[in-house]
Amino acid sequence: MSREPVELASPPCLLGELDPAWSGLGGARIGLRRAYELPGPDDGWRVLVDRLWPRGVAKAALPLDDWMKAVAPSPGLRRWYGHDPVHWDEFRRRYAAELAAAPDALAPLLARCRQGPVTLVFGAHDVAHSHPVVLREHLLARLADR
């Protein structure tokens, strides 16, 4: 008996649907969605937060409102990390330091988060160990500090 493949919600969707951080602070809603997923009805403003375009995705096929390369990890940090979960804790620390040192790069994204729902779009396959998780934490903390 042949079965059609079933497309299940991936971890980013589940983060957006179940994670209390999706509700955000002060009304801010920041979701995560892989570039390989279809947009959700509540995505709001969609921004690609990778420095490199996601592999295998045509630019015309990815609905985005913006592409903010400057909020992605630096090329050196990205190469050092290499998406190796062994380095996750140190990557989080280093990337958070980069974000803290770049308030001008984050300002437009923070402003958007204050206006309505924002979805951080990215290409990484390992969602739990991807930079948008750290970016969202940083944004929510900055929004809470208002």
Mean pLDDT of 99-113: 96
Q: Residue 10 pLDDT more than 50?
A: no
For residue 145, what pLDDT is reported? 84
What's the pLDDT at 28?
Answer: 72
Distances (CA, A) of 26 to 18, 47, 112, 129, 135: 18, 21, 13, 26, 18
Q: Flag whether pLDDT at 127 surpasses 90.
A: yes
Asked if pLDDT for residue 15 goes beyond 50, the answer is no
pLDDT of residue 57: 94
* pLDDT > 70? residue 102: yes
The pLDDT value recorded for residue 4 is: 38
A 10 A CB-CB count for 97 gives 11
Residue 8 has pLDDT above 70, yes or no: no
Residue in 45, 36, 49 with CA at minimum distance from that of residue 65:
45
- As a whole number, mean pLDDT of residues 10-18 equals 41
pLDDT over 60 at 67, yes or no: yes
pLDDT of the residue at 27: 58
Asked if residues 54 and 132 have their Cβ atoms less than 8 Å apart, the reply is no
pLDDT of residue 14: 38
